[in-house]
Amino acid sequence: MAVLKMKIRKRNWKAGMLVTLFILVGFLAAYTFLFLKHDADMVDLNSRLSPMSLLHPFGTDHLGRDVMTRIFLGAQQTVGYAFMALAAAVVIGLPIGLVAGYKGGIIERILMRIADAFLAFPDTIVAIVLSGLMGPGIENLLLAIVFVKWVNYARLIRSTVVNERGKEYIAMAKVNGLSDGQIMRKHIFPHIIGNVLVLASLDLGKIILLISSLSYIGLGAQPPAPEWGAMLNDARPYFQSMPSLMIYPGLAIVTVVLISNVSGDYLRDKFDVKKEVQL
């Protein structure tokens, strides 16, 4: 009973933290778009490096652009692109993992050896090399991220399918005349969802950090895009005179990554998923 109560308190704490963070972010976003209505790319040199005010709650940057507007528009860039890369990685890894795990044999060995080749080097190193070879730009960066991320989902799904395919209910489904596609869709796929959701929620924070860090060194989003990593790079020369230009994008990245990690922990507890999904 004591252990159960501790687990319930842990879940309630995570859920409460998620709700609080979402409400805070939602309030600031609503205030930005309903009351301020600044153009994120409009240059106003007369207002450059202005301090905090009612008109500019986060101040302005070196070109007089409203920082708060750019922070929340940057969420569309950083978080939006992260979701796109994550969805593409899942879409690629899902069928490969299903087929490799269910069919087994030579198909499984070939697909998993290909996946192992992708895991020979760290994700970040491979993404940097690929982005450098393809050239700077957010499209090339997303391709590089998908290139290194699909492997985790393929291996996770394959291991889940292998664990399920030998159970009695799968044999009964075959005896009842269900096709392989029907068995995977109706009986195996529901066991995959929890693992994939947990890994995806944890991976979202990692992808956001990857996009921001590579944009910071010039391999991702290019100016004047209000991407958080690019904003950090633009603010470097003004760190001593106006450190808030780097603090606000940094806080935005930390907040979203924190939400991602807490969501992953909450989903892991909810679906009772083992910690091995953190590849």
Q: CA distances (Å), 31 to each of 71, 120, 194, in order? A: 13, 46, 35
Write out pLDDT tens, residues 114-133.
878 877 788 888 888 888 88
Measure CA 18 to chain center. 16
Q: What do you get for the CA distance between the two ends of the chain, in Å?
A: 32
Take residue 95 and report the two structure tokens written for it.
Answer: 């069928």
How high is the pLDDT of residue 22?
65
Residue tagged 């409009």 (tokens): 42
Q: Is the pLDDT of residue 4 over 50?
A: no
How high is the pLDDT of residue 14?
64
Number of other CB atoms surrounding residue 187 within 10 Å: 17
- CA–CA gap between residue 136 and residue 86 (Å, rounded): 20
CB of 131 closer than 8 Å to CB of 220 = yes
What is the CATH code of the structural domain delimited by 73-278?
1.10.3720.10
Q: Which amino acid is at 265?
A: D
- Number of alpha carbons in the 13 Å side-chain half-sphere of residue 13: 7
The percent helix, strand, coil of the chain (3-state, each to 5) is 75, 0, 20
How high is the pLDDT of residue 240?
87
* Average pLDDT, rounded, for the chain: 81
How high is the pLDDT of residue 278?
46
Residue tagged 């895991």 (tokens): 119
Point out which residues pair with 60 in neighbouring strands: 66
Measure CA 221 to chain center. 16
Take residue 16 and report the two structure tokens written for it.
Answer: 């409460």
Q: Is the pLDDT of residue 110 over 80?
A: yes
Q: Which amino acid is at 57?
A: P
Q: Residue 199 has what DSSP assignment?
A: H
CB of 246 closer than 8 Å to CB of 173 = no
Number of other CB atoms surrounding residue 252 within 10 Å: 23
Q: Is the pLDDT of residue 56 over 50?
A: yes
Point out which residues pair with 154 in neighbouring strands: none
What are the extents of the domains in the chain? 73-278
Number of other CB atoms surrounding residue 271 within 10 Å: 14
Task: Please give the average per-residue pLDDT across 33-62, as a whole number.
Answer: 80
Q: Is the pLDDT of residue 135 over 50?
A: yes
Q: Which residue has the higher pLDDT, 90 or 270?
A: 90
Burial of 188 from C-beta contacts in 10 A (0-12 / 13-18 / 19+) = buried
Q: Residue 162 has what DSSP assignment?
A: H
Based on C-alpha coordinates, what's the Rg of the chain?
22
- CA–CA gap between residue 266 and residue 17 (Å, rounded): 10
How high is the pLDDT of residue 265?
79
Point out which residues pair with 66 in neighbouring strands: 60
Cis upstream peptide for 57 (omega within 30°):
no
Task: Please give the average per-residue pLDDT across 194-214, as a whole number.
Answer: 89
- CA–CA gap between residue 110 and residue 118 (Å, rounded): 13
